[in-house]
Structure 1
Amino acid sequence: MPTQPPLDRWFSSERAMGLAASILIGVVTVSTWATAWSDWYSYQSVKNHADDPDRLAEADLISGSLGIVAALALLAAAVVFIVWLWRVRWNAEMFCRGEHRFTRGWVLGSWICPVVNLWYPKQVVDDIVAASDPRTPPQTLVLRDIPGTRLVWAWWLTWVAGLVTGNVVQRGILVAATEPGQLRTNVVLSTISALFTTAAAVLAVILIERIDELQTKRAWVPWWAAGQAQPGFQPPER
């Protein structure tokens, strides 16, 4: 069973951190579309101006510059989002006694460990949502038994789809595709990735607001001071 958290920490509102994460997620979305546009520009340059080295050099410069901007935006958004996630996880541990599927270190580790990063982050968020929900009794013992929400599922599926298609695009860039046919495939996938990333970004912002709403509505009373266990509890429908 989870041990009582240290009493020198208390609940904290993470609305400001969530807002910062949402803004940076918006910046990532814009940079993703800018990168997709630069891919199309490079394709058109190779297709229609293959004999113009200045035009090709310009296309390479635009593509490289926007790629750097997009990478920096993604890094900034990832750092702020994970910090926000870490903090709302702390609140969740205070709200509910229920055992999370992973220790707090996995709030970061779930995103950077290969393979498991395709589903561990979703489970981390599922447990945070379950523990933050006012309908979940504070003495609930196991969070994994509470059904996940459709919002988390939709966010995660669109994020993974965008991630996979984006990685295919990056592999195309790394192998230095130069033929028009290869570049056309690359830009189509880049556009598809941007569409999925945009959907995931919108859902991520909604998710941030949803968790903030749940944690704001729930009484800020630690689980060990909120009554006795309820063995007959049935998980609420979500």
Structure 2
Amino acid sequence: MPSQAQQPPLDRWFSSERTMGLAASILIGVVTATTWATAWSDWYSFQTLKKYGDDPDRLAEADLISGSLGIVAALALLAAAVVFIVWLWRVRWNAEMFCRGEHRFTRGWVLGSWICPVVNLWYPKQVVDDIVAASDPRTPPQTLSLKTIPGTQLVWAWWLTWVVGLVTGNIVQRGVLGGATEVGQLRTNVILSSISALFTTAAAVLGVVLIQRIDELQTRRPWVPWWAAGQQQTGFQPPAR
């Protein structure tokens, strides 16, 4: 690396992602509400089948409610996922500027870690771990590897609750798509969807706290790129916020 600090690329600089984080937080709240709505629809379907199993009109009504809420929940989840990943991409950009430390995955995995089967059970957490580590003002700018920095309890709690909610929710979804029509099957759906809603709510709360935490870390840390850290050059002063 040259002894003199290099000028940052003209198309690359820090940016506050507070607005995008707020949008992601709001949509996460919407997803939480739709998760409870679908849990209620599972309970309603169970009660309808239990009490009016021989009434096709009531059963059709319950199916319509369940299907409609399922569509709304899917759209809310898609919107929240898109905004959250855009936010995550942008704070990763900032993190790369704060610290030279190597992230465990290339930037493309900010998206890919969520959609690749199996590895999506732990890759996203590691992506976030590295972003938090690089954003933390206590991490020296010249740190070479971020994976050596221990993860935070907040990220662990957020990720574990999310995975439990995701897995139980997927089990319920498979039951719905499989055409569960027996009282016992629907009772299981009600239990699992309630568990999923509980853990999804916990993950949502922790996710919002995590968004705020990363914003706080990136706000507190001086907006000086790692290659200019320690240099007394006014050209590297952060822009007014």
The answer to whether 1:161 aligns with 2:151 is no
The residue number in structure 2 matching 1:170 is 173
- Give deviations 1:99-153, integer Å, cap 9, x for gaps: 0000000000000000000000000000000000000010111000000000000
The residue number in structure 1 matching 2:205 is 202
**Where does structure 1 differ by over 4 angstroms across 4 or more consecutive aligned residues?**
none
The Cα shift of 1:34 comes to 0.2
Pick the aligned partner of 1:137 from 134, 137, 140: 140
The Cα shift of 1:67 comes to 0.1
- Secondary structure of the 1:206 match is helix
The residue number in structure 2 matching 1:125 is 128
Q: Quick one: distance in 2 between partners of 1:9 and 1:64?
A: 45
- Amino acid corresponding to residue 219 of structure 2 in structure 1: T
Pick the aligned partner of 2:48 from 33, 45, 48: 45
Q: Quick one: distance in 2 between partners of 1:51 and 1:178?
A: 12
Question: Unpaired runs of 5+ in structure 2?
Answer: 232-241
Q: Quick one: distance in 1 between partners of 2:82 and 2:186?
A: 32
- Secondary structure of the 1:213 match is helix
Across the aligned residues of Structure 1 and Structure 2, the Cα RMSD in angstroms comes to 1.2
The residue number in structure 1 matching 2:102 is 99
The residue number in structure 1 matching 2:12 is 9
The Cα shift of 1:198 comes to 0.3
- Give deviations 1:144-194, integer Å, cap 9, x for gaps: 000000000000000000011011101111211101011100110000000
The residue number in structure 2 matching 1:109 is 112
The Cα shift of 1:227 comes to 3.3
The residue number in structure 1 matching 2:219 is 216
Question: Unpaired runs of 5+ in structure 1?
Answer: 229-238
When normalised by structure 2's length, the TM-score is 0.92
- Identity rate, percent: 88
Q: Quick one: distance in 2 between partners of 1:111 and 1:157?
A: 15
The answer to whether 1:69 aligns with 2:72 is yes
